Amino acid sequence: MMLIDDSAENIEAADACGWQVHWFDGQDYAGLEAKLLEVGALG
43 vs 19, higher pLDDT? 19
21: phi then psi, degrees, rounded to nearest 5: -135, 155
Tell whether 24 is covered by a domain.
yes
Query: Which structural domain range is residue 29 located in?
Result: 2-38
Query: Structurally, how many domains does the chain consist of?
Result: 1
Tell whether 13 is covered by a domain.
yes
Tell whether 19 is covered by a domain.
yes
Say which residues have a Cβ less than 8 Å from residue 11's Cβ, sequence separation at least 6: 3, 5, 21, 23
Residues 14, 43, 3: CA angle, nearest 5 degrees: 10
pTM: 0.83
Count the residues in the chain. Answer: 43
pLDDT at position 27 is 96
Tell whether 43 is covered by a domain.
no
**pLDDT over 80 (residue 43):** no
